[in-house]
Amino acid sequence: MLLNVLLILLPLVIGYLVPLSSKPLLKLVNGTLGKLVYLILFLMGLGLAFVEDLGANLPRIFVIATLMLACISLCNLAGLWWLDRRNPPAHDGNDSQMPSKWKMLWESVQLCFVVLAGTVIGLLFEPRFLPIDKLSEWALMLLLFLIGVQMRNSGMHLRQILLNPWGMKIAATVILTSWVGSLIASLLLGLPFAHGLAMSSSFGWYSLSGILVADKLGPVLGSAAFLNDLGRELIAILIIPMLMRRHPSAAVGYGGATALDFTLPVIQRSGGITMVPIAIVSGFILSLLGPILILAFLAI
């Protein structure tokens, strides 16, 4: 397990040690990240096509994903609501500059179509000669390296992260309540607790959870983990503007690891610039701990 953790963290750490001052290079990193996510999800779809009795497994995939998402979401929102009640924060709203939620929702739905396209192509052509597992592994390593580069050049340093108590409280609340929700869902689904904890520890990072869980537990649970995290992102886009004014911790925290990237523009435009460092700190911590926690639970 320790070796797996090191293999996952190594490209992330190496990427974090790479300083980039060139805007064209940073733009290239961001663009490559987006393409890699599509590639990883397409490969996941190909792997799903090789599952025996796929049609019979689809209802199970959606039941697991839906119940896991519901339990984790309710626990997350309850815990973050409690955090705001104990420490009511002040911030400047900026509702007038909200981005188009429908456009962002469509971008997220496109990810589902990529997985579906991979599955359909796998069923039609059965490219079993392709080393899908190895390709997915290398794509994930490159993704983590570029994520590390992006983190280093986001303007947020480790010292700032350690000195931001609000962001740390949000991250800790998300972690603990995600685990509680996953334990409840595992009990209802009859899954081993360690499997549920692993599926909940990506905190919205769907490309990571899908690949790692599928590699250890099979494409059925891997697909369920992906849909659970993608559903979290879709819901976050809708509820962040509604929660921000009265429950900013819930607005930032529910996006989980995506507060570092995908949902950050929504957080910034609905909560103001003061919420950006908090969102980056929370998202950074969850992104950093995600792979460690998933592999730790999968090793149990």
Measured CA to CA, the distance from residue 171 to residue 281 in angstroms comes to 8
Cα atoms in the Cβ-side hemisphere of radius 13 Å centred on 142: 16
Helix (H, G, I), strand (E, B) or coil at 238: helix
**pLDDT band, very low/low/confident/very high, at 185 (cuts 50, 70, 90):** very high
Residue 171 has pLDDT above 90, yes or no: yes
What pLDDT does residue 192 have? 95
104-108, 114-118, 174-178: which has the highest mean pLDDT?
A: 174-178
70-74, 113-117, 162-166, 283-287: which has the highest mean pLDDT?
A: 70-74
Q: pLDDT tens, 116-141?
A: 888 888 878 766 667 777 787 788 78
Taking Cα atoms as reference points, which of 118, 126, 94 lies closest to residue 226?
A: 118
Helix (H, G, I), strand (E, B) or coil at 89: coil
Please list, in sequence order, all residues whose beta carbon lies within 8 angstroms of the beta carbon of residue 40, skipping any fewer than 6 positions away.
Answer: 136, 139, 140, 143, 207, 210, 211
Taking Cα atoms as reference points, which of 296, 285, 223 lies closest to residue 259?
A: 285
Q: pLDDT tens, 230-244?
A: 888 878 877 888 888
216 and 231 in contact (C-beta within 8 Å)?
no
Instruction: Classify each residue of 45-75 as buried b or exposed e, where b means 16 or more C-beta atoms within 10 Å of its C-beta.
Output: bbbbbebeebeebeeebeebbebbbbbbbeb
**pLDDT band, very low/low/confident/very high, at 69 (cuts 50, 70, 90):** very high
The tokens describing 232, both together, are 């979290």
203 and 290 in contact (C-beta within 8 Å)?
yes
State the pTM of this model: 0.74
Measured CA to CA, the distance from residue 202 to residue 256 in angstroms comes to 8
Helix (H, G, I), strand (E, B) or coil at 108: helix
Cα atoms in the Cβ-side hemisphere of radius 13 Å centred on 205: 28
What pLDDT does residue 5 have? 52
Measured CA to CA, the distance from residue 47 to residue 172 in angstroms comes to 34
What pLDDT does residue 105 have? 64
Cβ neighbour number for residue 174 with a 10 Å cutoff? 31
Quote the distance between the C-alpha of residue 180 and its chain's center: 18
Radius of gyration of the chain (CA): 18
